[in-house]
Structure 1
Amino acid sequence: MPKMKSNSGAKKRFALTGTGKIKRKHAFHSHILTKKSTKRKRRLVKTTLVDDTEKHRVMRLLAL
């Protein structure tokens, strides 16, 4: 049986931490930034972790 391919888009969007958690970036920080507050834009810059309820879906995309 052939190897399972990982999703190329997911490879670019997610990264594994040393403890096995999945890092992701926030959405809504690419355009239409004038109406968003400075505080909101600053929060969107930082990375966060994928929620445990979605972790299995991302793992399947990454073929882990």
Structure 2
Amino acid sequence: MICSLSKLTEKDLQEINNLEQEIHSPLLAFSCSDTPMTELSSENLQKIQSLEKKLGVSLVAVAGKC
């Protein structure tokens, strides 16, 4: 399962902002989808981890072609 920040309408954002004000805490909205992961060799996993460290991001290898 992969999650990312949600795409929200102005109305959705306003409702979230209202609730943030009410509970005195910021909220993040995530949407998730079932995405098949791919099997990786140790070498490819190491390459991904190296690039993650270099860029300061998290990368996820999914099944399929680029």
Return the structure number with greater relative CO, CA threshold 8 A, min gap 6.
1
* Structure with larger Rg: 2
TM range (shorter): under 0.3
Give the structure-1-normalised TM-score. 0.22
